[in-house]
Amino acid sequence: MDMSLNLIIEALLFASDKPLTILDIQSALPEEDSTRISEAIKELQEEYDSMARSFLLKEVAGGYQFRTQSQYAPYILQMLKTSPARLSRAALETLAIVAYKQPVLRQEIERLRGVDVGGILRTLLEKGVLRIVGRKNLPGRPLLYGTTKKFLEVFDLKNLQSLPKLKEIKELGTEEDQGTAVIEEGQGNETGDEQTAVDTEKSTEEGPSDPSEN
């Protein structure tokens, strides 16, 4: 396998979201001494400088990081602007309450969340996932909130009825070990091969490292 030190360091820098110091790199490559690592980084830098790609290996904040060259910034900004926006926890909770309790008063949302939600409601109205559906027949005729068609689109729902009920999710339960352990006696039977081959992949679901974070 062709893995030079340079390429290993390149891979590390590529997969990191912050600048890496020599020390950071060394922690993944304990046998390498720091001068060899800094030499490798220098070589990588020169290589990228001469390749004239859209990004360079820059020294920043005491570490090293791949950065796109500044002339590409306008395109990247444009892409970021249209890329999917995340919702804050507060916004998500507010949206969830409206989805399940609609038509609902702001007062009711605030009772459930325990905080003022005026600003968040405005943001969600602007994003087009909530709308005002009417007024309640109460003193002051307060506004009632509900979800929009765009809400259905965002969550890929055919209609509000297909919104899963809380109960249905709770019914799924949690995943305790659903396998069953069996002790097998007998000496080294080879037929277990297939079994063990697959078993090596087995591990718990709730490791810290799931890739699934959206």
Partner 1 sequence: MVYEIKLEIFEGPLDLLLHLINKNEVDIFDIPIATIADQYLEYIEMMKVLNINVAGDFLLMASTLVHLKSKMLLPESNDDTVDEDLHNEIVRPLLEYMSYREIAGDLSERDLLERDVFCRQVPLDFRSHIKEEGAPLDVNLFQLIDAFKQVMDRTLPGVQLQLRLEQWSVKEKIEHIITCLKEKGTMLFVQLFVEDRVVSEYIVTFLALLELVHMGLVRIFQSTPHSDIKLTPCFEED
Token code pair at residue 125: 């109205």
Query: Nearer to a second copy by C-beta: 35 or 183?
Result: 183
Q: Contact with a second copy (CB under 8 A): which of 50, 114, 137, 172?
A: 172
Residues in binding contact with partner 1, number by CB under 8 A: 87
**Would you give the binding string for partner 1 spanning residues 120-159, x where CB under 8 A is met?**
-----xxxxx-xx---------------x----xxxxx--
The CA distance from 143 to 106, in Å, is 7
Within residues 21-50, the interface with partner 1 by CB under 8 A covers none
106 binds partner 1 (CB under 8 A): no
Within residues 42-61, the interface with a second copy by CB under 8 A covers 52-55
Write down the least CB distance from residue 60 to a second copy, Å: 13
Which position has the token pair 């490798």?
40
CB atoms < 10 A from the CB of 104, how many?
Answer: 19
* 74 backbone φψ class: left, alpha, beta (φ>0; ψ -120 to 50): alpha
Q: Contact with a second copy (CB under 8 A): which of 50, 114, 174, 181?
A: 174
88 binds a second copy (CB under 8 A): yes
Q: Contact with partner 1 (CB under 8 A): which of 43, 108, 136, 146?
A: 108
What DSSP line would sit under 16-73, residue for residue? -SS-B-HHHHHHH-TTS-HHHHHHHHHHHHHHHHHHT-SEEEEEETTEEEEEE-GGGH
Token code pair at residue 60: 């920043």
Q: Contact with partner 1 (CB under 8 A): which of 112, 136, 142, 146?
A: 112
